[in-house]
Amino acid sequence: MENKINLLSLNQKSLDEFFAKLGAKSYCTKQLMKWIYKDHVFDFDQMLNLSKKLREKLKEVACIEFPKIVTKNHALDGVIKWVIETGSENHVEMVYIPEKDRGTLCISSQVGCALACTFCSTGYQGFNRNLSTAEIIAQVLIANLHLNPAGKRISNVVFMGMGEPLLNEEAVYSACDLLLDDLSFGLSRRRVTISSSGVVPALERMSERVPVSLAISLHAANDTLRDELVPINKKYPIETLMKACDVYLNAGTQERHILFEYVMLKGVNDSSEHAKQLSKLLKGVSAKVNLIPFNPFPQSDYETSSVRTIESFQNILFSNGIRTMTRRTRGEDVDAACGQLAGKVKDKTKRADARRN
């Protein structure tokens, strides 16, 4: 589709501008969005309430293009993982997690990840490129096309797949616009979550740009340990990160909260002292902590904290007034659990090669 614009990359404002340049009426935006996002019609010839002249023009200058599905795997617990091709032998992964009262889709924002968090399989694959808005939104549409016939729905979308969303700001923000737009997916702001390792300048911009939920991959409450686990901490240490979190919490007029994610690594960050440090750090912050049992992958030497250790850690947080939950591991048998997404990445950073050596 060389030189054609993929309409999945355009939010409502951009579509208005696109149709204006074509000399089409403004209502064409609503008509097109209904065909794509409500009716799942992707052939311009079938969009019969658009004029024939406009349909012919759209075929010349635009397309609605999806990445190819490489594999689709069903876990025993109902989790579904798709691997999709993004060109040049690169693949990314997305995961659907069904629960009694919700269906969460975990999507990717980059091919690989450049942040190299030591407990994450994606980080070990290196980094190739950012995904476009179209490639991000296509993940949600692909999942809907597979899930809807089975009577399943997507109630929540989380940017917790491959990549650091806030290193791909514009594409992610535009995708969020579409996820929130009633003309497309119509999700509430509380049901769309961006997870970040702490790209502070982008966090501050996000606070004003998109009113979605925020999750912070924290994993340690002191800089020495976080420098090791989450290397971006060397650039944006915890004190700086927490100031950016305060900016987010106080932006806008609606009440906001932050989910702090904390992977439980045996003998590394799971002691009672670590729990006390975390309690002190989050005292008075409008936040919840999500304790995540580490999910092993071949390149890692970390081990998962014991159930008793996680419970003890959680109890210390509870006793200090910190709202806390422990994430149940899902999709582990198809490598779809948190931290296990790897895809297939032609690493441009050479970081993966350096690690192997």
What is the mean pLDDT of the segment spanning 70-87? 91
Is 332's pLDDT higher than 70? no
Is 338 a known active-site residue?
Answer: yes
Distance CA 174, CA 10 (A): 7
Whether 56 has a pLDDT exceeding 70, the answer reads yes
**245 in active site:** no
Domain borders along the chain are 5-63, 69-356
Average of per-residue pLDDT across 44-58: 97
**pLDDT of amino acid 357:** 46
Q: Distance (Å, rounded) from C-alpha 202 to C-alpha 240?
A: 13
Angle between helices 200-209 and 169-180 (to 10 degrees): 30
For the purposes of burial, counting CB atoms within 10 Å of the CB of 86, is it exposed (0-12), middle (13-18) or buried (19 or more)?
buried
Q: What is the mean pLDDT of residues 35-41?
A: 97
Q: How confident is the model at residue 126 (pLDDT cuts 50, 70, 90)?
A: confident
Inter-residue contact 175 to 135 (CB < 8 Å): no
Query: Quick one: pLDDT at residue 326?
Result: 93
Average pLDDT, the chain: 91
pLDDT of 84 strictly over 90: yes
Where b means 16+ CB within 10 Å and e means fewer, 14-48 reads bbbebbeeeebeeebbebbbebbbeeebbebeebe
Least confident of 181-195, 227-241, 324-338: 324-338
pLDDT at 352 over 70: no
Instruction: Read off the pLDDT band of 34 (50, 70, 90).
Output: very high
CATH code reported for the domain at 69-356 = 3.20.20.70
Is the pLDDT assigned to residue 44 strictly greater than 70?
yes
Report the pLDDT value the prediction gives residue 333, as an integer from 0 to 100.
Answer: 53
The residue annotated as part of the active site, out of 56, 65, 93, 117, is 93
Query: Which pLDDT band, with edges at 50, 70 and 90, does 88 fall under?
Result: confident
CATH assignment, 5-63: 1.10.150.530
State the pLDDT confidence band at 338, using cuts at 50, 70 and 90: low
pLDDT for 3: 84
In percent, how much of the chain has pLDDT > 90?
78
Backbone angles phi, psi at 160, to 5 degrees: -130, 15
